[in-house]
Amino acid sequence: METVVDPGNVLLAEIAELEVQRARVEAQVAAKMLLLQDLRRAGSQRHVDPRRRDLEAGFAADELGVVLHLPTKTVQDRLAQSRRVRNLLPRTWESFVAGEVDAYRIGLVAAAAAKLGDNHDLIHLDHIIGGYAAAHTPAQLRGKLKRFVARWAPNSGSVRAEQAKRSVWVDHQDDGMSFLHAYLPTTDALRIDAMLNDRARAVSDDRTFDQRRADELVGQLLGHIEGRPTSSRAVIGVTVPVTTLAGLDDQPGESFDGSFALPADLVRDLATEPGTLFHRVITDPLGRILDVTELERFPSAKLGTAIDIRDGTCRFATCSRPAMQCDADHQIPHPRGPTTGTNLRALCRRHHRMKTARVAEPTDLAMRTRTGSRREAELAHFTLKFGYAA
């Protein structure tokens, strides 16, 4: 009797093999990333100046970021995770090389290993986790690692270390909406959650419970009294086509750094807010701001604003730091190079130092020029800064 082969099972086997191959390739990439980092570190030792030595040793992450199209911070994290697992958890690293565990799971294991200070705990983790990671989902692995750390390293100082990472950040979405994230101690988060619940329950209207919670959070943070904000010095820079403000079309407003866009209706509403400031900046068809020359080394506020609008972010290819948080770098150093729009560019402090210390030449920094549809019209663009004076 002829055996019937289920084509679905054949496909499942092929998918499983491809997943193994993918993990093996990720391990090969990780190993070569570490090799490049070691190469750059060794080469940096020729410098006597420790600051320049550190800058050159750290430039491997920037080089890799350009090749991988990833932010430098992401590459730095991947390097640290791979090195930690390779050096401290050799059996788990072997599972990675064999394609049994992928890079994402290796990152989870590395984060847990960072909280273990005792070698015996690391050996124990290395003994049990490779096989578990290969047979379980990332969520199950994360839970396993949390239980392991809580049991075997309860006094490792990881609680204090995590509390030191307190932070708040914004993740911009579509349609003029964003997520506001906060990494807080659990006790504080629980108190805030309970407070929002209590205040939302105390109000009864046509809003949903979640909407009342969100509005209460905004009210608490912005200090609303009778619906009017009373204390906020936040300034948000948005580049808006003049045709939008005039109501001739509905082109959106865009943030300087390109991280979010605001619908035309919302932009026009904000333009009527008290305290709104306007700067008129003339650009050519490619979006280049018409040149302005100043005699001082540091650009004036108006020229600095123009540079922020033009560049949006640090000009390094994979860096997303907003131009408003960057240095104004003279491509030709001052005083030989003038303080002009054509000679100035936004560089974050890290990449500015690398250029100044000659760790990387401008060609190595892979500078990008922002051109395209957002600057193609020969129109004056208005920079709309909206906020509230205290």
Report the 10 Å Cβ neighbour count for 107: 17
Mean pLDDT over each residue of the chain, to the nearest integer: 79
Q: In this predicted structure, what is the pLDDT of residue 240? A: 73
Buried b (16+ CB within 10 A) or exposed e, 177-209: eeeeeeebeeeeeeeeeeebeebbeeeeeeeee
Q: In this predicted structure, what is the pLDDT of residue 90? A: 95
The average pLDDT across 312-318 equals 84
Q: What is the pLDDT of residues 5-16, one digit of tens each?
A: 888 989 999 999
Q: What is the pLDDT of residues 330-389, one digit of tens each?
A: 888 877 778 777 788 888 988 888 887 776 654 444 444 444 333 333 333 444 443 333
Question: Is residue 109 scored above 70 in pLDDT?
Answer: yes
Q: In this predicted structure, what is the pLDDT of residue 336? A: 78
Q: What is the pLDDT of residues 259-269, one digit of tens each?
A: 777 777 877 77
Compare 232 and 3 and report the one with higher pLDDT: 3
Q: In this predicted structure, what is the pLDDT of residue 374? A: 37
Among 101-110, 111-120, 236-245, top mean pLDDT goes to: 101-110
Contact 365, 345 (CB under 8 A): no
Angle formed by the axes of helices 7-44 and 90-97, nearest 10°: 120
Q: In this predicted structure, what is the pLDDT of residue 20? A: 95
The average pLDDT across 122-145 equals 92
Using a pLDDT cut of 90, give the percent of the chain over it: 29
* Band of residue 160 on the pLDDT scale cut at 50, 70, 90: low
Question: Distance between CA 118 and CA 126 in Å, rounded?
Answer: 13
